[in-house]
Structure 1
Amino acid sequence: MTTTETELEQSIHIAATPERVWSLVTDLSRMARWSPQVVHSFVRGPVQLGTRAINLNRRGLLFWPTRSKVVVFEPHREFAFRVKDNATIWAFVLEPTDGGTRLVQQRRTPDGVTDISLRLQDAVLGGVDRFTAELQDGMRQTLARIKADAEA
């Protein structure tokens, strides 16, 4: 059902408390403000363990929905959601530092990535390697935008 794929990680230092950063990364409705791929997030109920959401994603003229569920909710420490459509887990890990927070964004693939997702990446998104590079760049952009909001 799934194929193994490299996990991704990016991090940034933010001059804000973990509490401030937590309040931002757990506000799924704001993800479109930060992520270059997310157009809109539809969240069902308050964000907590088990909360479900639907994202509308975009790359150029191509749009696609994804369904997710919050699978880790450890206040001020870790927030993660599993994307049902491709079996990946997207996580934000917060680490207190002198003068702020180290925010780590990860795409975890403990069960690999679904074959259909990999086939679509090859057929529509320029291949797995190209799409993975875009995801890495998108993660850097997302973290920089969260940092800007947290420090504002």
Structure 2
Amino acid sequence: MADTYEKLIEDSIEISAPVDKVWSLVTDIPAMAKWSPQVVKSTVKGGVVKKGATFTNLNKQGIKRWPTAGKVVRFQPPAGATPGDFAFRIRENRTIWSFELEATADGGTRLTERRETPDGISGVSMLLTKVVLGGQEPFTDELRRGMRQTLERIKAEAEA
């Protein structure tokens, strides 16, 4: 169905770098433009990334550009066996994007990126996705490919 969406999109990658190094990368919101193929620029209000921090994004698809606003809703650094959890909610569509970091036995990190929709997706975003961004299924496929690209780029930087 053209008007349905996937409630959860996720992908994981193994990184040969410690969790604290990967944590410093994924919580650097302004750097997301280096990794995510959809993000052009991100600016954190006040410059400090922490729970409650707000930021703006400029996103892209081809020649199309659109702004979004985000708020950090989870900011739990990794500690020992406790995984790290960093998440932000996008105001316009109500989605939550997150990164979970788990230490691996070999001293590396398993990084999982998710897009969740616990409150659904706003009607305006559903309509814009259908009319402007190519429809839910193609856009979801694009998000999935972008997620993989983001994880691979973070891995490359963490392992450099």
* TM-score after normalising by structure 2: 0.91
Residue 36 of structure 1 aligns to a residue whose secondary structure is: coil
Q: Name the structure 1 match of 2:29.
A: 28
Q: CA deviation at 1:40?
A: 0.2
Q: Name the structure 2 match of 1:62.
A: 64
Q: Name the structure 1 match of 2:14.
A: 13
| Structure with a larger share of its residues in strand | 1
**Runs of at least 4 residues of structure 1 off by over 4 A?**
none
**Matched residues in 1 for 2:33 and 2:130: separation?**
25
Aligned Cα RMSD in Å?
1.0
Percentage identity across paired residues of the two chains = 55
**Matched residues in 1 for 2:5 and 2:112: separation?**
22
Q: Which amino acid aligns with 2:9?
A: L
Q: CA deviation at 1:6?
A: 2.3
Q: Name the structure 1 match of 2:81.
A: none
**Matched residues in 1 for 2:6 and 2:142: separation?**
15
1:5–1:112 Cα contact (<8 Å) kept: no
Q: Name the structure 2 match of 1:85.
A: 92
Residue 101 of structure 2 aligns to a residue whose secondary structure is: strand
Query: Residue by residue, what CA displacement relative to the aligned partner does 1:4-55 show, whole Å, maximum 9, x if unpaired?
Result: 6421001000001110000000000100000000000011120000000000
**Matched residues in 1 for 2:144 and 2:50: separation?**
26
2:151 to 128, 139, 143: 143
1:108 to 105, 116, 120: 116
**Matched residues in 2 for 1:7 and 1:101: separation?**
22
Q: Name the structure 2 match of 1:118.
A: 126
2:38–2:61 Cα contact (<8 Å) kept: yes
**Matched residues in 2 for 1:117 and 1:7: separation?**
16
The count of aligned residue pairs is 150
1:4–1:111 Cα contact (<8 Å) kept: no
Matched, 1:95 2:102: yes
Residue 113 of structure 1 aligns to a residue whose secondary structure is: coil
